[in-house]
Amino acid sequence: MNVKEYLSRYHNTELKISRLQVEVEEYIRLANSIPGINFDQIRVDGTKSLEAPFEKWIRKALDNENLIVDLKRRLPIIKGEIISVIDELEDTELRKVLIYRYIDWLSWNDIAVKMFVSISTLKRWHKEALIGIKIMDYVGPR
């Protein structure tokens, strides 16, 4: 895992939570809908499923909800790890750049406006900050 991937974990976890919430909503919608008869399938004689048609969707929704709870529980831990790694940088400006970029997930333009610097200076600081980050102590087994 490189430095950018490590710093992006907080944002990526937030994205995963929102994607899973959308899936849960879809599974609940499917569980509440009435399935129609599908005449296009080839009929196969055999044992009929005793499972109600909506059970599969409810099970998937519950699995995703459990995953969402787990990710939300881990989110502050991930944020704390990233901030503690960023705090090891000596330069305050470099720390601000990384926090704005990887915690607040601001665009380069927004960060430049907040910090009153040009985008080229900002990107130079970002490059310096990434070089100064040491993640070896923080990356454990996956």
Tell the burial category of 3 from Cβ atoms under 10 Å away from its Cβ (0-12, 13-18, 19+): middle
pLDDT-derived band at 33 (thresholds 50, 70, 90) equals confident
pLDDT at 72: 97
**DSSP symbol at 90:** S
Pairwise CA distance, residues 128 & 130, whole Å? 6
Q: How many residues are listed for the chain in this entry?
A: 142
- The residue ranking higher by pLDDT, 42 or 128, is 128
Two tokens, residue 1? 């895992």
The structural domains of the chain, with segments of one domain joined by +, span 3-34+54-132
pLDDT-derived band at 122 (thresholds 50, 70, 90) equals very high
